[in-house]
Structure 1
Amino acid sequence: MMTVANELHSVWNARALVWVLTRREVASRHAGTAVGVLWPYLQPLLTVAAYYLVFDVVFRMRLGEGAPTHAVGTFLVVGALPWMAFCDAVQRGMTSLIDAGGLLHKNPLPPVLFTTRAVLASALIYGPLLLLVALAYVPAHGLRPAVLALVPLLGLQLALCLVLAYVLAILAAALRDVVQLVGFLLSVGIYLSPILFPLSLFPENWRWVLWLNPMTGLVQGYQQVLLQGAWPPASVWWVSLAWLALLVLALNALVARSRDQLVDWL
């Protein structure tokens, strides 16, 4: 575990540089666009707005019994936006070391800085959107104390994305096929989580499959808070923490074994 602790220490020592790199990363995502800095925020916001418009306003589709809410679009938005944030952070973080290969060859910078930059840039874009959606859902249940659970939920998601992205970045540096494989898994992952349907509607004997998705617990947590105004159940926390602990162990082993070869792989 000391290996991961050393990586965190490197990020903390270079926090000013990380902040500069993160700001440049965010700026690069809207460079050359007409609407400027608003564009990275408009894309996911318009996507979830389309969910609401199509399913709740146009078709007025409704979920069955056992769902936390009956409006399909309202249900989809709560899970889809965190999932988009997860996919963006993981995909960009996974290719962060490959993209920074030339710079890492010339400068002895800790590789973890570049993965951190990519994940934090995604957090700066999707974090405000998640908080905006949370405010939009307040009238559904009132401003209950359970809304405070959003803080640890967002913190857990950020930590999960950072660790997973760094694990995948090292693997992608060693084997480029990882990028294609993970891209496929992320494209089908939305169907293996309670985003398009409530967990209660999934066959009980097969629900364990959904827990293989690291976002299942967090999505459930967001649904509990935003749709029902309730504190997430214990399963949300221990499953998410278990995923985080497992990934930290994997990262610790990968960093220790790749330290001398990582830059050469790039």
Structure 2
Amino acid sequence: MTQTSMPLSIGPARSPTVRRELRGTGGLVETLFDRRRLVWQMAKREVRDRYAGQALGTLWAVAHPILLMGLYLFLFTFVFPSRVPFGGGQGSAVTYILAGLIPWLTVADAMSRGTGAIVNEAGLVKQVVFPVEILPIKSVLASGLPQGIATFVLLLYMAAVDRHVPLLAAMLPLLFLLQLMVMAGLVYVLSSVGAYVRDLREIVQVFVSAGVFVAPILYSEESIERTVPGFASLLSLNPFSHLVWCYQDALYYGRFVHPVSWLLLLLLSPAVLFLGYRVFRKLKLMFGEVL
């Protein structure tokens, strides 16, 4: 009798669907790398279009976040000085608030832009040879530029007023990269669904308007727990709270006060990008018919 040999497999087995999705995500990275100049040029064009026809033109891309930061610093320092205790940190209450507010405003802007990333470029989407995967990414990059400028202004404020910039601030590039991955995943979903549901933009606007109040940006966990017992535990259910906490650790506390949030951000950022792009790949097949 002849004995049939069984094939040996090394490593964990993956289903064909999982392998196909992983290849698709790898294809996204390859597309973005190969078309990196196009992505950058389109991101710059989106920034220019925002300020088209204005006297200062694209200079507003730098002036706007600087002026906005100046307004926030003035408001939170002199007009509405915070009496909420932000204990255990190395900076002022202004640093605490802006450390969380700056990234949240960027996420909110990216989500608002993302709903129209495909609809607003219908002419390009209908071109068969154009890589539509670029469109959500250029919106994310255009939203991220003001955050970089605003964060730089905040660091200058911390050095001048707090007279201290934590060593943990060196983690900001990593945080920004992880945040970009989260925003890219969200925008992939919003842009693809927005092509079918045009009312999505209004829904997102309501969400981002309320979002600043349901994340630990304008208050601390300790203060909200004293005011509304039990509400602080609900903050951890908001995924954006963990992003805010990581920035506050890096800029305000100067130490890992929320290690679970850092771990979640490291694990979930690639997952959000992967799942968001998976939804985009499935829905983009009908873009030409719905636009």
Deviation at 1:69, TM superposition (A): 7.0
Aligned twin of 1:175 = 197
- Distance verdict in 2 for CA 1:209–1:113, change over 3 Å: same
Alpha-carbon distance in structure 2 between the residues aligned to 1:70 and 1:119: 30
- Select which of 235, 239, 246 maps to 1:221: 246
- Distance verdict in 2 for CA 1:141–1:97, change over 3 Å: same
Deviation at 1:73, TM superposition (A): 3.7
Residues 59-110 of structure 1 deviation map (CA, whole Å, 9 limit, x = unaligned): 5432226364785444322222211111112221231111111221134212
Tell me which moved more, 235-244 or 164-173.
235-244
- Distance verdict in 2 for CA 1:29–1:131, change over 3 Å: same
- Distance verdict in 2 for CA 1:74–1:57, change over 3 Å: farther
SS state at 2:239 partner: coil
Is residue 2:205 matched to residue 1:205? no
Alpha-carbon distance in structure 1 between the residues aligned to 2:180 and 2:152: 14
SS state at 1:194 partner: coil
User: Scaled by the length of structure 1, what TM-score is found?
Assistant: 0.88
- Distance verdict in 2 for CA 1:141–1:233, change over 3 Å: farther
SS state at 1:192 partner: coil
Deviation at 1:135, TM superposition (A): 3.2
- Distance verdict in 2 for CA 1:77–1:143, change over 3 Å: closer
**Contact 1:94/1:172 (CA < 8 Å) preserved in 2?**
yes
Aligned twin of 2:121 = 100
Aligned twin of 1:234 = 259
Alpha-carbon distance in structure 1 between the residues aligned to 2:35 and 2:256: 36
Alpha-carbon distance in structure 2 between the residues aligned to 1:107 and 1:154: 33
- Select which of 156, 161, 165 maps to 2:183: 161
Deviation at 1:182, TM superposition (A): 1.4
Aligned twin of 1:195 = 217
1:61-100 to structure 2, matched below 5 A, reads: 61-64=82-85, 66=87, 68=89, 71-100=92-121
Tell me which moved more, 205-214 or 106-115.
205-214
Alpha-carbon distance in structure 2 between the residues aligned to 1:252 and 1:103: 19
Deviation at 1:252, TM superposition (A): 4.5
SS state at 1:174 partner: coil
Alpha-carbon distance in structure 1 between the residues aligned to 2:165 and 2:91: 21
Structure 2 unaligned residues grouped into runs of 5+: 1-21
Q: Which has the larger radius of gyration?
A: 2
Aligned twin of 1:257 = 282
SS state at 1:54 partner: helix
- Distance verdict in 2 for CA 1:151–1:65, change over 3 Å: closer
User: Scaled by the length of structure 2, what TM-score is found?
Assistant: 0.81
- Select which of 148, 171, 174 maps to 1:127: 148
Residues 160-215 of structure 1 deviation map (CA, whole Å, 9 limit, x = unaligned): 11111111111111222222211211111111101111123233633343234332
1:28-39 to structure 2, matched below 5 A, reads: 28-39=49-60
SS state at 1:147 partner: helix
CA RMSD after TM alignment? 2.5
Is residue 2:65 matched to residue 1:40? no
Amino acid corresponding to residue 83 of structure 1 in structure 2 = W
**Contact 1:149/1:231 (CA < 8 Å) preserved in 2?**
no
Alpha-carbon distance in structure 2 between the residues aligned to 1:63 and 1:161: 30
**Contact 2:95/2:154 (CA < 8 Å) preserved in 1?**
no
SS state at 2:87 partner: coil
SS state at 2:212 partner: helix
Q: Matched residues, percent identical?
A: 27
Deviation at 1:148, TM superposition (A): 0.8
Alpha-carbon distance in structure 1 between the residues aligned to 2:80 and 2:137: 41
SS state at 1:12 partner: helix
- Distance verdict in 2 for CA 1:95–1:148, change over 3 Å: same
**Contact 1:93/1:116 (CA < 8 Å) preserved in 2?**
no
Length, aligned pairs only: 266
Structure 1 unaligned residues grouped into runs of 5+: none
